[in-house]
Homo-oligomer: A and B are copies of this chain.
Amino acid sequence: MNITDPRIAIVGVGRMGANMARRLKDVGATVAAVFDNRRGVAEELAAELGCAAPGTLAEVTAAADVILTVVTDDAAMRGIFGPVGDSLLSGAGGRTFINCATLSPAVHGEVAAACSAVGAQALEACMASSIQQAREGTLYLMVGGEESVFRKVGPILDSLSKSLRHVGGIGEAAKVKALVNMVMNINTAGLAEGLGLGAALGLDLAMLREVFSQTGANSRVLETDGGDMIDREHDCYFSAAHAAKDSGIANDLARQAGVAVPLSNATEAQYRKLIDLGRGELDKSAVAELTFPGRAGF
């Protein structure tokens, strides 16, 4: 497959999906169609990219050879691959779906089976990266699915990522992704406790953050979220609602596997508290609003 050959569609053009579409256009791929539940969002992006913005999922499938899906959660995923009504599965014979949302591993399996039943193929491509990396084609991509399908769409995946890894069969990448976000969220909620308690003790937080960075308390989230927690800068890169969802996926897997994960359970509870306070749309760094003195309740 040459990157210019297949007609590509993107379903779910929030900030990640839209930037992936822009990147594909930049590298000369044929972006044929974009789709979003928010019709206006899709039409605006279609105008920018010079492509179609079909009104139905069946039309998306008709317009493309390879369809990337970047939806929010399990329910949305089941919605676009529904067995009845408007569905990406309509006339999907020969199509390849690359499913990029962070979902429960079992849902990737369900979707792949439904695709197979209509003569289509499915891969999961889990992203552990930011909106900016999507725009620049430097995503960290973990792919699950058949090796032959992975190789076939290799040029598309390559153009989106700087680090591409085939981790196993369908559902395996979602497991890895769930664990990455589980540990990231624990480290984030834990950092919020450390900095929040430091604030309560009257410590110099710039000093504390720097000491953390030079000791066993250092972490990637200290780099990305430490300053934001101190400055109450919670513009969304990865939302508290997403953090709750992803920790929830991991905690469900743990329950099924009989593994006790008390820290991850406590982390999910913190993020659910943010949602209950109506602040699920803030960045995950907003968990510090629950631990810094005088901030609670916003």
Contacts and interface: CB of A to CB of B under 8 A. Distances in A.
Contact of A197 (B179, B214, B290, B291): B179
B215 A128 contact: yes
A264 B172 CA distance: 31
Contact of A186 (B186, B253, B258): B186
Interface in A213-266: 214-221, 224, 250, 253-254, 257-266
Nearest to A225: B216
Interface string A251-293: 0011001111111111101100000000000000000001101
A196 interface: yes
A178 to B, nearest CB: 9
Nearest to A198: B179
A189 B266 CA distance: 12
A262 B269 contact: yes
A64 interface: no
Interface residues of A, number: 61
Interface stretch (A46-54, A150-158, A203-211): A203-211
Chain A contact residues: helix, strand, loop or mixed = helix
A184 B217 contact: yes
B217 A259 contact: no
A207 B263 contact: no
B257 A263 contact: no
Contacts of A146: none
Given A176-B207, A261-B291, A263-B266, 5 more contacts: A167-B211, A183-B193, A183-B219, A258-B293, A259-B293
Interface of A: 128, 140, 142, 163, 165, 167, 172, 175-176, 179-184, 186-187, 189-191, 193-194, 196-198, 200-201, 203-204, 207-208, 211-212, 214-221, 224, 250, 253-254, 257-267, 269-270, 290-291, 293
Shortest beta-carbon contacts, A-B, top 7: A186-B190, A184-B216, A219-B219, A183-B217, A200-B257, A183-B194, A218-B220
